[in-house]
């Protein structure tokens, strides 16, 4: 009896499997268009390996950093779809000429040595260049040592659909909007980077590595790094990042604006579930900044957290505000002195008072206000106008500068 029962179970199982196989075969024609079109790219010191001709549509770059150093692979659409011969003659020109870029398409972000990931972006037919924007210890761009390569995207479409995402991240102005959670295993993240200023990277925080160490690497991009960067997407359009996620501590971080809170920590449990680390957004405080001739009205002290900052002016001039995070040992006076020295031709390039990038607020006038959202961590910040008046005196020296201390 037992024997028969088992046999019938096996028969049922076999039937079920063959039905599954049949239904897969039937659907094959329908799903073939969603099969990824994969292009292998590797990076090493100092070269990229990839085909010189690829298909258009949604292209999945399987990027592998086989080098000993950190590398990145930015993809640019070339202006006028120049030919390989034109490209080559630009590169060999003396003095050095700029390769004309039509637009940045994104591409594989920073990868620490040995790391690999897949990045899917949409490419139109035309001519392109892939290049590494990092510099050697001696300060020479990797691109000048050979890490740039011309390639053509043909009319033939490789994949019409992007991969199906497991979660989404929108890179809004200076903050991350995260929709969904990651799990252990292979995961695909849709990254909406239509504001082309922002990149996004996934960093592991293993052992002694901390968020600050990740930001330290991001501010000068010089190896060695204790922050292990698993990959990411460079600025531009919509990208899909596919990675293998294992249990551990992670941060999503923008290289340029991580110092302004454009990062999110999380952990993956041994069971492969995402654990949030308590940085989850919370309330957003509204801050109004009003620029007057010779003054900036804004709160001098704030508590850390999410802020929506709105910039207005009533006067007849255009103001271009900059917002910067001061390094620990630097003050507003240090910044003014560095700027004065530069103006006087006493250049001291090693000294720079700010952490990483500045926030550039779009120009404001009486008719045009601007706003953005960001997360402020404790520290000292400077808000100033980068415009000059008719006599060439910077607005910041006429009082358009405000120190903001965040507790
Ligand atoms: Cu490189």
pLDDT value for 135? 92
Helix (H) or strand (E) holding 171: strand 167-172
Summarised one tens digit per residue, pLDDT across range 152-203 is 999 999 999 999 999 999 998 888 888 998 999 999 999 998 877 889 999 9
Q: How far is residue 222's CA from residue 68's CA, in Å, rounded to a whole number? A: 13
Predicted TM-score (pTM) of this structure:
0.81
pLDDT value for 31? 45
Summarised one tens digit per residue, pLDDT across range 321-345 is 999 999 988 988 888 888 888 878 7
Residue 68 Cα to ligand 1 midpoint, Å, equals: 10
Q: How far is residue 129's CA from residue 148's CA, in Å, rounded to a whole number? A: 7
Residue 242 Cα to ligand 1 midpoint, Å, equals: 21
Residue 13 confidence (pLDDT) above 80:
no
Residue 38 Cα to ligand 1 midpoint, Å, equals: 22
Residue 134 Cα to ligand 1 midpoint, Å, equals: 5
Neighbours of ion ligand 1 (CB under 5 A): 71, 132, 134, 142, 147
φ/ψ of residue 145, rounded to 5? -85, 0
Residue 59 Cα to ligand 1 midpoint, Å, equals: 22
pLDDT value for 51? 97
Summarised one tens digit per residue, pLDDT across range 198-237 is 899 999 887 656 787 888 888 778 887 878 889 999 888 8
pLDDT value for 238? 93
What SS3 state is found at 79?
A: helix
pLDDT value for 208? 59
Reported confidence tier of residue 19, pLDDT bands at 50, 70, 90: very low
Residue 354 Cα to ligand 1 midpoint, Å, equals: 25
Query: What residue ranges define each of the domains in the chain, with the CATH number in brackets?
Result: 34-280 (2.60.40.420), 284-406 (2.60.40.420)
Q: How far is residue 140's CA from residue 249's CA, in Å, rounded to a whole number? A: 33
pLDDT value for 277? 60
Summarised one tens digit per residue, pLDDT across range 250-304 is 999 998 888 888 888 888 988 888 886 654 556 888 999 999 878 898 889 999 8
Q: How far is residue 180's CA from residue 163's CA, in Å, rounded to a whole number? A: 16
């Amino acid at each position: 009896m037992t024997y028969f029962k088992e046999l019938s179970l096996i028969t049922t199982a076999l039937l079920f499997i063959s039905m599954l196989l049949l239904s897969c075969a039937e659907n094959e024609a329908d799903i073939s268009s969603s099969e990824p079109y994969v292009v292998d790219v590797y990076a090493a010191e100092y070269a990229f390996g990839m085909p010189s001709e690829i298909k258009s549509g949604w292209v999945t770059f399987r990027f592998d950093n086989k080098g000993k150093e950190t590398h990145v692979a930015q993809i640019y659409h070339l202006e006028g779809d120049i030919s390989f011969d034109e490209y080559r003659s630009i590169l060999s020109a003396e003095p050095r000429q700029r390769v004309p870029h039509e637009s940045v398409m994104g591409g594989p972000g920073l990868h620490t040595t040995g790391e690999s990931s897949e990045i899917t972006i949409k490419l139109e037919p035309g001519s392109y260049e892939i290049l590494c924007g990092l510099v050697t210890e001696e300060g020479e761009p990797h691109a000048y040592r050979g890490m740039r390569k011309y390639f053509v995207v043909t009319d033939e479409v490789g994949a019409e659909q992007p991969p199906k995402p497991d979660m989404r991240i929108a890179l809004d102005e200076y903050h991350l909007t995260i929709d969904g959670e990651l799990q252990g295993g292979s995961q695909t993240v849709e990254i909406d980077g239509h504001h082309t200023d922002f990149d996004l990277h996934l960093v592991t925080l293993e052992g002694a590595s901390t968020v600050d160490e990740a930001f330290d690497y991001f501010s000068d991009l010089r190896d060695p790094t204790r922050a292990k960067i698993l990959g990411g997407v460079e600025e531009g359009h919509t990208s899909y990042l596919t990675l293998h996620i294992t249990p551990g501590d992670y941060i999503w971080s923008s290289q340029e604006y991580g110092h302004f809170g454009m990062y999110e920590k999380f952990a993956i449990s041994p069971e492969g579930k995402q654990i949030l680390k308590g940085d989850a957004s919370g309330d957003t405080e509204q801050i109004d900044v009003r620029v007057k001739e010779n003054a900036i009205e804004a709160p001098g002290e704030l508590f850390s957290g999410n802020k929506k900052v709105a910039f207005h002016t009533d006067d007849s001039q255009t103001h271009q505000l900059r917002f910067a995070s001061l390094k620990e040992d630097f003050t507003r006076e240090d910044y003014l002195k560095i700027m004065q020295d530069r103006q006087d031709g006493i250049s001291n390039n090693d000294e720079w008072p700010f952490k990483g990038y500045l926030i550039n607020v779009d120009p404001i006038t009486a008719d045009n206000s601007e706003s953005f959202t960001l997360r402020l961590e404790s520290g000292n910040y400077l808000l100033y106008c980068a415009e000059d008046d008719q006599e060439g005196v910077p607005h910041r020296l006429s009082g358009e500068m405000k120190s903001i201390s965040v507790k």
